[in-house]
Amino acid sequence: MTPFTEKALKIMKSIPAGKVMTYGQVAEISGNKRGARQVARILHSMSKKYDIPWHRIINAKGEIGLKDEEGRFTQKEKLIAEGIELTVNGKVSLDKYLYHPEIEEPF
């Protein structure tokens, strides 16, 4: 496992309930500010094995990045269950819910 992957997994596991991070944010803190797609691949291939709260990762616009309807529905339901409010358009307020681990926890 690469150092980037290890750090990304650690960061994603640290996201508390009721907070979200963006793919790009995880990538940048993990050491590759252009690695958002790499974070998506890590989530896709490793979220079950490493018990990653995958539903807390969204895109930079505050939107759910999943394309399939079932996955989008599941992610929305999980976020709502944690107290995260979504707009009518299904967006998450990054001002309100974005987690900043580089401030709260040193990585």
In a domain, 53, yes or no: yes
What local confidence, expressed as pLDDT, does residue 67 receive? 84
User: Is the predicted pLDDT of residue 106 greater than 60, yes or no?
Assistant: no
Q: Phi/psi at 58 (nearest 5 deg)?
A: -130, 175
Q: Which domain holds residue 45?
A: 3-102
In a domain, 59, yes or no: yes
pLDDT tens digits, residue range 37-66? 999 999 999 989 999 999 999 999 999 988
Which tops the pLDDT comparison, 102 or 21?
21
pLDDT tens digits, residue range 20-29? 999 999 999 9
In a domain, 72, yes or no: yes
In a domain, 76, yes or no: yes
Long-range CB contacts for residues 99-106, cutoff 8 Å, separation at least 24: 99/15, 99/16, 99/19, 99/20, 99/21, 99/56, 101/11, 101/14, 101/15, 101/21, 101/29, 102/29, 105/14
pLDDT tens digits, residue range 59-92? 999 999 888 889 889 999 999 999 999 998 889 9
In a domain, 14, yes or no: yes
> Rounded to two decimals, what is the model's pTM?
0.89
Give 105's pLDDT tier (boundaries 50, 70, 90): low
The enclosing domain of 80 has a CATH number of: 1.10.10.10
When computed from its CA atoms, the radius of gyration of the chain, rounded to whole angstroms, is 13
In a domain, 107, yes or no: no
Split into its structural domains, the chain has a count of 1
